[in-house]
């Protein structure tokens, strides 16, 4: 009976090792897909936004995170003074600016 028991358990152990490798391959593929569809585009968008904020200059028309449209009057290291309407001016952190609409028509 011992020989029969050994013969029955030996083939069952071999597929378990194959399943282990296929599990790691599938896990690796999932990580790779997540990188190309989620992480990489997000990094690209962050770099574009950083370049936009670093290239701000007087006269640019911008939109804040809160949806306020204005024209840049003054640019300092961390803040921007925008003219909203008439004599109304707001000092906004550069991180609060999300879009440039200088080239778009109103």
Q: Is 77 helix (H, G, I), strand (E, B) or coil?
A: coil
Q: What is the pLDDT along the chain (106 residues), one digit of tens a residue?
A: 566 565 555 554 455 556 788 899 999 999 999 998 999 999 999 999 999 999 999 999 999 999 999 999 999 999 999 999 989 999 999 999 988 887 665 5
Domain of 38 in residue numbering reads as 1-55
Q: What are phi and psi of 7, to 5 degrees?
A: -65, -35
- So what's the pLDDT on residue 83? 95
Which pLDDT does position 8 carry in this prediction? 59
**Do 69 and 51 lie in a common domain?**
no
- pLDDT (0 to 100) of residue 6: 56
Angle at the Cα of 60 from the Cα atoms of 54 and 65, rounded to 5 degrees: 70
Same domain, 48 and 92: no
C-alpha closest to that of 81 among 99, 51, 101, 58: 58
2 and 48 fall within a common domain: yes
pTM: predicted TM-score of the whole model, two decimal places: 0.63
Looking at the fold, whether 67 and 29 belong to one and the same domain comes out as: no
97's tokens: 């600016």
Supply the pLDDT for residue 13. Answer: 47
73-101: pLDDT as tens digits: 999 999 999 999 989 999 999 999 988 88
């Amino acid at each position: 009976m011992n020989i029969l028991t050994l013969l029955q358990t030996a083939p069952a152990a071999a597929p378990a090792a194959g399943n282990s490798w296929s599990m790691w391959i599938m896990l690796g593929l999932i990580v790779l897909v997540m990188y190309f569809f989620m992480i990489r585009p997000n990094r690209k968008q962050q770099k574009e936004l950083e370049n936009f904020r670093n290239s701000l200059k007087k006269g640019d028309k911008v939109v804040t995170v809160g949806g306020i449209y204005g024209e840049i009057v003054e640019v300092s290291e961390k803040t921007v003074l925008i003219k909203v309407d008439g004599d109304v001016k707001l000092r906004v952190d550069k991180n609060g600016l999300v879009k440039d609409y200088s080239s778009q028509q109103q």
